[in-house]
Amino acid sequence: MLTAGTDADHLFPSDGAYTTAALVGIAAMAITTLTSLALARRSPGAAGRRVRSN
């Protein structure tokens, strides 16, 4: 992404390229978080089960 935002005659990407890369990263983290929460609520895990003692 940053490579696409770097002009041929410049050594570093433009400020807009950094902003775009940050927004894409934030969106990816948000999607990952929401997916993880949805899957955690859907399937009962070992933490949700209680062990019976005899």
Task: Of 24, 20, 17, 23, give the one whose Cα is nearest residue 3.
Answer: 17
Residue 30 is classified by DSSP as H
pLDDT tens per residue across span 31-41? 999 999 999 88
Domain ranges of the chain: 15-39
The residue with greater pLDDT, 1 or 32, is 32
What distance in Å separates the CA atoms of residue 7 and residue 19, rounded to the nearest whole number? 16
pLDDT bin (cut points 50, 70, 90) of residue 51 is low
- Helices and strands, number each (H, E), in the chain: 1, 0
pLDDT tens per residue across span 5-40? 888 888 888 888 899 999 999 999 999 999 999 998
pLDDT of residue 1: 76
8 Å CB contact between 19 and 1? no
